[in-house]
Amino acid sequence: IFGIDGLVVIGGDGSFRGAQDLCRLGVPAVGIPGTIDNDITCTEYAIGFDTALETVKDAIDKLRDTATSHERCSVIEVMGRHAGHIALHAGIATGAEAIIIPEMPYDFNKDVLKPIIEGRQRGKHHNIVIVAEGVGGAVEMAEKIESITGVETRATILGHIQRGGSPSVTDRVVASQMGVHAVKLLQKGIGNRVVAMQRNIIVDFDIEEALQMKKEVSPELLETAKIISI
């Protein structure tokens, strides 16, 4: 139909629902997860996540340099409207004192102020706080930190710079693996599937099944973040 033999749809839940509709019209379509937020429920990894993390990590490293030289606290807002995977991974990678994500309720005094104050008491001269955009309020949080602690604090919202850049090696390899898997399905006349990664293995699911799956933040990563921030 429409002169289309098969279609590979890269995106998230909305894109997959579109692929599902195309399949109902007789166009074989296979979905591939692609979003920097890594919040697609059926897969452990979505194309774009690692590239965005590299961008965020580089930005935080640069902000840490200036925070160190001026003995400041830096509050950095990263993308993740409904999921805190970027904030959590980047926070661990850069040794942030506090990581605030939508999935976990937080107490400002306990989870933000306390690690900053305790760090200063141990002789630390800079602090990094990572906030996912789903929580938001980086500017207000920075103002509040400074007013209470007296520590000069600056807010940075990284914004759409996270969506660009040359793809990382991991993204290129995973995208190639998923692409090959998708094409093989279409060559067999199989559509209405979503390609995914589970336990580092490329698999596929019925689109409706994939859309019904749930995905939670790793408890192990949360524990790691807590220990690293001490």
Which residues carry out catalysis? 37
Please report the beta strands in the chain, taking only residues with DSSP state E, as ranges in sequence order: 7-11, 29-33, 73-78, 98-100, 127-132, 153-157, 193-198, 201-206
- Burial bucket for residue 193 (CB in 10 Å: 0-12, 13-18, 19+): buried
Residue 56, both tokens: 């965020």
Give the residue from 63, 66, 67, 83 showing the smallest Cα distance to 12.
83
Torsion of CA 108, 109, 115, 119, to 10 degrees: 130
The Cα 195–Cα 124 span in angstroms is 46
